[in-house]
Structure 1
């Protein structure tokens, strides 16, 4: 009887997950917010039951995670249009065309530009890709780094005339990256003497399956190289750790933010300060050298101008699902009567840098777990001070939390879906009350955990004394 109960506790959430994922992938429109929320709540409950209340078997849960991902195989992403731009850039690159040299909008509005950019070559399904990506995306230069572009090109090479085929290729790459995170995450958890089960809060999290596998965001590929780097670093294989970290930066730029935090990891008591500085310096040289090597085929004054112009938009023009910034914006409207994003977008990064420097120089980051905890705090501070926080961004604090004592990113991955209330049937309009609910819940959990951890550390310190 007990065995039957355990079997049912495992079987029912698995079947429930399969049904809900199929509905999410093939019977949901982004504007159906209530339906989205109900499906996601059901999926999160099923994932919680599977991870926490089923008898733990690593390979069974791993196979289940892969199987859930395969349910999305032919599905067209239904929560994001970004993949159309991925396919556009990839098809240009396969034809030997620099994807950073022009915007899709300019390609369509200026025939001479189109001929100049593509040398007269045809972009397969160009009109469909252009319409799919939307005016906002089409009007800006590509901001996807070279290794990310390589993934797009692979899709263009193997399925350059089929949108569904290209989606499938991109999805395979993202699934392989997640399997890599599972593999190296497990090994790193074992070396840190942490519960291996923790990795499934990433691998079986419906947030990850929907935003990465389902909607084709490449945070997972970036995080694969980041986790691989941390595993290699923990094994003292600093050179290949640096190479892997450099590749991670060339998938998504976010790991650049974390580079200063590695500084103290190389400071070992048994080695002189000079040797510690040399080790740290060599690590940074290899990381930045790898990044430059991947960018080298595209480097030019035109690339720097186009790429930096697009990146700056994220700080001074775009706004979505923000927290601290929205409070400042409201104060600005009440005091001066207009949106202060142009000014605030320049000031908030300064605070991020100050927090990053404090975490670098005033915190002990000499062990791998201390380093990862500092990375989690830095990324969290960065997102809290950002003007734009798309749901899939939370994949980074989520995977980092797996290797720490903090679990608030798991809560964040549960409530971040509230941000999709902005995409209604009548167009885009954010519900700031729901944004407030999201961040109040996340910050309440985060503050509670930080206070608890601080108290635990003080208690441990008194015991040592």
Structure 2
């Protein structure tokens, strides 16, 4: 591709991402999806270039600049930031976010500085305890401490942490691609993906921090630094709980290396990270565990297998049986991941990202809720594998924002069907073509 074409691609990507960061209205689906389509077209133009990586430094710089710009944009596509600020003020005030529901702190005698009725009214999670693990809580707390009187300031502080995590992921992508003898240009699949730029730094999702420590753990494993790898994995789990499902794939690989060093270190560091929040006053375990259980029994958004099961439930009994099918599908995901892990006979590190990708995809197709930023890990793992269907998914999943056009929020199940059917067909095509 000629240089002019790549420049056009970069301009389209930047224009779309900046609009999504600074000018978009989440309820205006047409302009939102058009802007994302423009950004994604630019992304495709850039990553499709066959220049041997000669221009890679320029595209890395573009990704850095776009992320840096979005540090100063208040989240427009997600309202999770308000819960982050709420939890930060709680911890800064000496309270445990897993003990009481938010309404408790509006009662007389229970007030905490920074927790106002105005902030409470913006929470999308008023009826359940916090679900965010300790490393995320630490970032929330620092943000509330540095900017106690400004939501915007607190958001910028959190974004700076995620910006640094993304820079760490960039460095680790370069090192891992070199370690696996893969072209460095592949890092652009993640680094310039408009969903990643928009959702992680732009809308403050801690998948970015989870990914940084997950990549660090993988890199240290390739360097036979098992204690450090375990510590990095613990930090990844303390950012989001999802890396727990990846541990079975390490059993065979570590059995004849340093099995006990890794897993004992992992257990100790994870315990130390979670201890300050989980072993305080009140029913901490019940609050935290209850929120996780509620996630599988109540929340539903952009699901695949679950929506098929839900349709059957309506046909069978005439009402929504999420309390039955949600936990059942969660157990199915765990079972399938264990089957894949037990069936794996490889012991090298290069094959691990492909297996982790399989685990995440199995989890997502069994989940009752799949938001766009949930694809962050499959997208980064694409850099190390032959699969590209997560990139197609990263475009189509933005169709879910049509749900926010009306109040109360309502999904267009036809678009959900288009999303999953297209991704499935692309996956089948990839599997057939690359046999």
Scaled to the shorter chain, the TM-score interval is: over 0.9
Query: CA contact under 8 A between 1:30 and 1:78: conserved in structure 2?
Result: yes
Q: TM-score, normalised by structure 1?
A: 0.89
Secondary structure of the 1:368 match is: coil
| 1:452 Cα offset (Å) | 4.5
Secondary structure of the 2:122 match is: helix
Q: Which of 271, 292, 301 pairs up with 2:271?
A: 292
CA distance in 2, matches of 1:54, 1:104: 53
Report the equivalent of 1:270. Answer: none
| 1:23 Cα offset (Å) | 2.1
**Which structure dedicates a bigger proportion of its chain to helix?**
1
Residues 56-455 of structure 1 aligned to structure 2 (within 5 Å):
56=53, 57-108=55-106, 110-112=107-109, 114-115=110-111, 118=112, 122-123=113-114, 126-134=116-124, 137-267=125-255, 276=256, 279-300=258-279, 302-453=283-434, 455=435
1:41 and 2:37 are equivalent in the alignment: yes
| 1:348 Cα offset (Å) | 1.1
Q: TM-score, normalised by structure 2?
A: 0.95
Report the equivalent of 2:7. Answer: 11
| 1:337 Cα offset (Å) | 1.2
Q: 1:425 to 1:356 in 2, by over 3 A?
A: closer
Query: CA contact under 8 A between 1:6 and 1:54: conserved in structure 2?
Result: no
Secondary structure of the 2:63 match is: helix
CA distance in 1, matches of 2:425, 2:141: 43
Aligned residues: 431
Pairwise CA RMSD of aligned residues? 1.7
CA distance in 2, matches of 1:391, 1:34: 17
In structure 2, the gaps of 5 or more residues are none
Larger deviation: 169-178 or 346-355? 346-355
Cα deviation digits, residues 219-262 of structure 1 (max 9, x gap):
00001000010000011111100110011001100001111111
Secondary structure of the 1:398 match is: helix
Cα deviation digits, residues 46-99 of structure 1 (max 9, x gap):
111122227433321111101111222322111110001101111222222222
1:53 and 2:49 are equivalent in the alignment: yes
Query: CA contact under 8 A between 2:226 and 2:261: conserved in structure 1?
Result: no
In structure 1, the gaps of 5 or more residues are 268-275, 456-465
CA distance in 1, matches of 2:12, 2:432: 37
Query: CA contact under 8 A between 2:217 and 2:229: conserved in structure 1?
Result: yes
Query: CA contact under 8 A between 2:15 and 2:39: conserved in structure 1?
Result: no
Q: 1:360 to 1:317 in 2, by over 3 A?
A: same
Larger deviation: 219-228 or 286-295? 286-295
CA distance in 2, matches of 1:393, 1:289: 28
CA distance in 1, matches of 2:396, 2:137: 31
Cα deviation digits, residues 170-213 of structure 1 (max 9, x gap):
11111111111110011001110111111111111000011111
Cα deviation digits, residues 334-380 of structure 1 (max 9, x gap):
12211121111121122112211211111124111222111110110
